[in-house]
Structure 1
Amino acid sequence: MSNRITNSLPVTDMDMHGDPYSSDERPENLPYVHKVGVPPKQNWFTEFKTTLKETFMHDDPLRSFKDQPKSKKFILGLQAVFPILDWGRSYNLTKFKGDLIAGLTIASLCIPQDIAYSKLANLSPQYGLYSSFVPPLVYAFMGSSRDIAIGPVAVVSLLLGTLVQNEFDPVKQKKDYQRLIFTATFFAGITQFALGFFRLGFLIDFLSHAAVVGFMAGTAITIALQQLKGFLGIKNFTKKTDIISVMRSVWTSVHHGWNWQTILIGVSFLAFLLLAKYIGKKNKKLFWVTAIAPLISVIISTFCVYITHAEKKGVQIVNKIEKGVNPPSVHEIFFRGENLAKGFRIGVVAGMVALTEAVAIARTFAAMKDYRIDGNREMVALGTMNVVGSMTSCYVATGSFSRSAVNYMAGCNTAVSNIVMSMVVLLTLEVITPLFKYTPNAILASIIISAVLGLIDIDAMLLIWKIDKFDFIACMGAFFGVVFVSVEIGLLIAVAISFAKILLQVTRPRIAVLGKVPRTNVYRNIQQYPAATTVPGILIVRVDSAIYFSNSNYIRERMLRLLTDEEEHLKENGELKSSIHCLIVEMSPVTDIDTSGIHALEELYKTLQKKDIQLVLANPGPVVVDKLHASDFVSLIGEDKIFLTVADAVITLAPKMEP
């Protein structure tokens, strides 16, 4: 009896092409049985090429180049590298008006934030402004997102500052510290560019959403705690970032280190910033209130300090900010020596974190406006801008969620809003920077605290708890790792738990026992459908995973345990006549199988043979069927033991199971 029947045959022809019953023997009202077809054998090179293309070029980026003349291919190539050459052809004055307003709005937000974030990276204030001038210009020409706003962000600034501070003191070894920052920025860009160029963007997906939520929340708290130095006017503050060290440093200085004028400035303007954020959240049309509040705070507080000479009473101020555009820094990058390895290590970590944040932001706003984002192109653009930035005195820049949200609500149409923002920052560097001399550090601390509070997503944490408890463990592991140890340890925990979850799911896949749903020929998980009934004498299981070397032994042992449990259950209920005579394995979820998996099935078959139990497979996919035939496993168990559906297998085998 042959099971190798093409699926295109009509059901009425089945009795002459593999139906286990002849027309005379067929029981009354017994349906015809469909058999599994064997896919045509593919050339191994073609199969390998197809798999490689699907893995790395699933979106077929070269499809637009097919059947095009060389001149057209050149133009398409330029447009692929510089998307502005594509959408720029339809750019008009109406779009520019929206971009101009959006650019001016995010510039008013980014200038005070940049000055504040540079302190997180232990750099002079002008470096934050440098990083909002060159990188956004590069991104505007190469990026595919219309809404993302580029510049320094709190999380990456703190991460970079913490990691580089472990190598050089930012005060005593200022020159080497800055050089290592530029080196790390260079390698962050190289990492991002390489991931995009070689189409390896899927690697950032290994950091789960739950781990990112926990990491961001923990980092937000760590950043806020770090601002207590400027918020309270403390001069001698710990260089550690864990909550215990920070709180110890705060309380030990309560009697001699706090400055009441500084606290008054910090509390007053923090309340103002939070109120502005609340107003913008309650009324979307008033988004500009949230955007302009930091700049207003800086202007008012700076003016107050200037006219009262509060700096003479212990209020710490920004002091001098270097005037002028970005000086070149390519000669300051470590291209040799031991610091090269340090910069590479730090750059890879910072680059991956920055990339994760930027791609997530770009995808979010692209979904809101219903346009497509090319993830690999984004990585190339982000990498290029950071490589260029490292050579022009910038540190790692990426997409900022707060600025991107303001950019979106302000009505941006294209990346021209980033160009407008860059021009405003250029004007600030050339003309306005001396005016920031009397800006109090307390106001910068207030701006950072109000900005990072949005990174704590309580609703997302509660949702993670409801959906997946293991995801919640990953979330909390990253959160507590950042808060109680350090940013890098929290990130390491986040990655480790994410990988642990993947390994657990791969090595311990679900195996469900199936039963027949009443009044249908459908077989489903009996735990999900309690009304589903098992078939006497037959155990039906479904493997919900590919079968690889990592889980093949577990799958075999799990099936044997299910058989043993079912036999013991039958004995306890006195159903000895209904002992198991057949094991049906539903294989539709099994997308692939390797040699270890086939070897495990062979061992399972031999073990079942000793117990006089048949092994039957139902609906294996084309890849699996091809490998089963190639390994002669089909010949081992018999071609009549592979069926198209579980129902077909039961129809064929159940009558034989009757006493």
Structure 2
Amino acid sequence: MNPSRVNFNSPRKFRTTLKSKCKETFFPDDPFRQFKNEKPLGKAKKTLQYFVPIFEWLPQYNFKIFRFDLLAGITITSLAIPQGISYAKLAEIPPIIGLYSSFVPALVYTIFGSSKHVAVGTVAACSLLIADIIGSKVSSTDDPTLYLHLVFTAAFITGVFQAALGFLRLGILVDFLSHSTITGFMGGTAIIICLQQLKGLLGMKHFTTKTDVVSVLHAVFENRHEWKWETAVVGMAFLVFLLFTRYLRQRNPKLFWVSAMAPMVVVILGCLLAYLTFDSKHSIQTVGHLHKGLNPISIKYLNFDTEYLPYTLKAGIITGIIALAEGIAIGRSFAIIKNEQVDGNKEMIAFGFMNIVGSFFSCYLTTGPFSKTAVNYNSGCKTAASNFVMAIGMMLTLLFLAPLFSYTPLVALSAIIMSAMVGLINYEEAYHLFKVDKFDFCICLAAFFGVAFITMDMGLMISVALALLRALLYVARPAACKLGKLPDSTLYRDIEQYTEASSPPGILAIQLGSPIYYANGNYIRERILRWIRNDESISHANGKAVKHVLLDLTGVTSIDTTGIETLVEVLRMLEVEDIKMKIVNPRQEVLEKMMRSKFVDKIGKETIFLCMEDAVEASYDFSVLKEEQGREEQRSGVA
């Protein structure tokens, strides 16, 4: 058998390797491929379509497509009104701001959004997080004007942060919010939001500003003299109705519109009930006056005072990351169903512009909430124009119908929020994490209990810290295994996974499965030497001394100077023991660094092979083989 030759071409120039690294880091999706073989005018057109996606689908838009978007837009408008008012209540800002936030941002997303299915709006988790962070500095009741201005400022910071991530293609930062972190965070957030709604559900007037479970429950029972049975009965009736419509949708997905319209039905019924009992002693608390008119300009109210800037920065960045993680994940999940692609970086830019412009027009943070996007998808939307239809619906509401919602009972909003939070407690996913990966489950629990019993931002940070610790452990303690040859095959596999695999006599084959860095160099050296010691102890019993160590570097994607020094140290130690070391299938970057550092000269080009089979054949100790055959013959003769 003629072994294949390893490519020992001269190492690439630094400029070439840097270009390759940058491309893989920032442009893994190769967005420039669409510009190849295009004339200057064509490139300009493609560039415009890339950054402003409306120019990509608008030329082919027609009335047939519009019919679907019109139906979807009307449906999500009916959901946007009660959700906007409800989530504004969570953020402790005037309810009208929630309606504003489904108007201007929706127009912006229609222009810049790349997803066909995402319906933009406010979200519960970020609303509560904003109230928690900014409320720790400025009270929404003592100084509501300053508080509102800081909320607008946080939305502006969120937009700048999101757009910057998109333009710089740094979406990798969002990836640090793992799936297990999001699952636990959303579940914990749902619990504390539901508990906070007990204030509205029981008709209470005094409550705590803290968000942890203990403080909320303490406030509920400490002020039990404020409980109103009338409000509780109405609230439970609304909640049961909303949960029943969710149940119908789950049993029959075609009835999605029932669940989508249910919050609006609750608001209308609540308004009628509040109007009829307005002057009675059993009156129900309402949101108060909602004035007509479109979004007032708020750019002049953005507050960058150094006293408050740390809080607005914290609120803007944390909620910005969460909003991106939720919005992009939701857009991609529905795109996959249709076998389509959603560019995460383009979505970041769209969300960023949406929040920047929104902060100029009295809007707070918006993203792509799951509930509204699911309704939009099930309604048959075809393009982002469904958001435009929703914006028109919200505009008409603000111009003509807003005062009618002044009678919306707080208890109705509490019921709407609680029913929406039920879907965020994904216990099935938590159980799946427990079965598949216990560490992921621990990360999920850390986020859940941290959010529920400490604070939202602290729970999130604890969970992210655990996830980062796990990532560091992967680097510091990389995967490695001992290889053996499968019977009747040329394949070499992990002997623990494939028990039928056996190591060739006198040969120790090891596979390293991660980059070799300063953080794991010592571990890799000690791990290799431990395998050698273990094999030597076995060899004394059967007479098969280790003569060759083969390192399979197929999984080693990169190596630094410390990693190369580690290999040099291992080589020296093996030479003292009269053991030969061979390298198998080093990747291009690894081989180039070995050549630059003269490691190839030290070990010799003849000891570097393209595949394990070649390395084994080249290093096979035939004397050991003959000795083994002699023993087999002796055993046969004795028998």
Return the TM-score normalized by structure 2.
0.95
1:267-313 per-position Cα deviation (integer Å, ceiling 9, x unaligned): 00100000011111111211110000000011112112211337742
Residue 371 of structure 1 pairs with residue 340 of structure 2: yes
Structure 1 equivalent of residue 511 of structure 2: 542
- Matches for 1:553-632 after TM superposition, within 5 Å: 553-571=522-540, 574-575=541-542, 577-632=543-598
Query: How far apart are the structure 2 equivalents of 1:194 and 1:74?
Result: 22
Q: Secondary structure at the match of 2:423?
A: helix
Residue 186 of structure 1 pairs with residue 152 of structure 2: no
Structure 2 equivalent of residue 20 of structure 1: none
Query: How far apart are the structure 2 equivalents of 1:322 and 1:219?
Result: 31
8 Å contact 2:119–2:368 — kept in the other structure? yes
Q: Secondary structure at the match of 2:511?
A: strand
Structure 2 equivalent of residue 236 of structure 1: 206
Q: Secondary structure at the match of 2:458?
A: helix
Structure 2 equivalent of residue 507 of structure 1: 476
AA in 2 matched with 1:648: D
Structure 2 equivalent of residue 331 of structure 1: 300
2:349 maps to which of 372, 380, 391: 380
Residue 258 of structure 1 pairs with residue 227 of structure 2: yes
2:613 maps to which of 627, 644, 647: 647
Structure 1 equivalent of residue 502 of structure 2: 533
Query: How far apart are the structure 2 equivalents of 1:363 and 1:426?
Result: 29
Shift in alpha-carbon separation, 1:107–1:311, aligned structure 2, 3 A: farther
1:58 maps to which of 12, 28, 38: 28
8 Å contact 1:581–1:657 — kept in the other structure? no
AA in 2 matched with 1:604: V
- Matches for 1:16-415 after TM superposition, within 5 Å: 31-254=1-224, 256-309=225-278, 312-313=281-282, 315-415=284-384
Query: How far apart are the structure 2 equivalents of 1:76 and 1:40?
Result: 38
AA in 2 matched with 1:621: R
8 Å contact 2:505–2:621 — kept in the other structure? no
Shift in alpha-carbon separation, 1:435–1:595, aligned structure 2, 3 A: same
1:594-650 per-position Cα deviation (integer Å, ceiling 9, x unaligned): 111000000111111122221111111122122112211111122221112222222
Query: How far apart are the structure 2 equivalents of 1:304 and 1:315?
Result: 8
Query: How far apart are the structure 1 equivalents of 2:466 and 2:508?
Result: 35
CA offset at residue 593 of structure 1? Answer: 1.0
1:568-598 per-position Cα deviation (integer Å, ceiling 9, x unaligned): 3444xx22x2122221111111111111100
1:230-277 per-position Cα deviation (integer Å, ceiling 9, x unaligned): 1111211111111111111112223x1211011011100100000011
Structure 1 equivalent of residue 421 of structure 2: 452
Query: How far apart are the structure 1 equivalents of 2:189 and 2:521?
Result: 40
8 Å contact 2:521–2:563 — kept in the other structure? yes
Unaligned stretches of 5+ residues in structure 2: 628-639
Query: How far apart are the structure 2 equivalents of 1:39 and 1:411?
Result: 56
Shift in alpha-carbon separation, 1:469–1:193, aligned structure 2, 3 A: same
CA offset at residue 40 of structure 1? Answer: 4.5
CA offset at residue 344 of structure 1? Answer: 2.0
AA in 1 matched with 2:176: F
Structure 2 equivalent of residue 22 of structure 1: none
Query: How far apart are the structure 1 equivalents of 2:295 and 2:18?
Result: 49
8 Å contact 1:259–1:314 — kept in the other structure? no
Residue 418 of structure 1 pairs with residue 387 of structure 2: yes
2:411 maps to which of 418, 424, 442: 442
1:54-110 per-position Cα deviation (integer Å, ceiling 9, x unaligned): 211233333333454444333333222221112101111111110010000011111
Query: How far apart are the structure 2 equivalents of 1:313 and 1:213?
Result: 41
Shift in alpha-carbon separation, 1:247–1:560, aligned structure 2, 3 A: same
AA in 2 matched with 1:172: D
Q: Secondary structure at the match of 1:123?
A: coil
CA offset at residue 176 of structure 1? Answer: 1.2
AA in 2 matched with 1:421: M
Query: How far apart are the structure 2 equivalents of 1:436 and 1:592?
Result: 61
2:445 maps to which of 476, 485, 501: 476
Structure 2 equivalent of residue 16 of structure 1: none
Q: Secondary structure at the match of 2:219?
A: helix
Return the TM-score normalized by structure 1.
0.92
Query: How far apart are the structure 2 equivalents of 1:311 and 1:349?
Result: 45
AA in 2 matched with 1:580: V
AA in 1 matched with 2:403: P
CA offset at residue 471 of structure 1? Answer: 0.9
Q: Secondary structure at the match of 1:338?
A: coil
Query: How far apart are the structure 1 equivalents of 2:46 and 2:568?
Result: 53
Query: How far apart are the structure 1 equivalents of 2:546 and 2:5?
Result: 24
Shift in alpha-carbon separation, 1:311–1:162, aligned structure 2, 3 A: farther
AA in 1 matched with 2:550: I
8 Å contact 1:588–1:620 — kept in the other structure? yes
8 Å contact 1:482–1:490 — kept in the other structure? yes
8 Å contact 1:305–1:311 — kept in the other structure? no
Q: Which has the higher mean CA deviation after the structures are superposed, 404-413 or 335-344?
A: 335-344
Query: How far apart are the structure 2 equivalents of 1:579 and 1:322?
Result: 88
Instruction: Tell me the percent identity.
Output: 44
8 Å contact 2:585–2:611 — kept in the other structure? yes
8 Å contact 2:277–2:284 — kept in the other structure? no
How many residues of Structure 1 are paired with residues of Structure 2 in the alignment?
A: 625
Query: How far apart are the structure 2 equivalents of 1:310 and 1:279?
Result: 37
AA in 2 matched with 1:639: K
Shift in alpha-carbon separation, 1:311–1:178, aligned structure 2, 3 A: farther
AA in 2 matched with 1:561: R
Alignment root-mean-square deviation, CA: 1.5
AA in 1 matched with 2:223: S
CA offset at residue 500 of structure 1? Answer: 1.0
8 Å contact 1:259–1:315 — kept in the other structure? no
8 Å contact 2:478–2:514 — kept in the other structure? yes
Shift in alpha-carbon separation, 1:244–1:311, aligned structure 2, 3 A: farther
Query: How far apart are the structure 1 equivalents of 2:174 and 2:622?
Result: 53
Shift in alpha-carbon separation, 1:445–1:522, aligned structure 2, 3 A: same
Query: How far apart are the structure 2 equivalents of 1:333 and 1:37?
Result: 60
AA in 2 matched with 1:193: A
Query: How far apart are the structure 1 equivalents of 2:36 and 2:377?
Result: 35
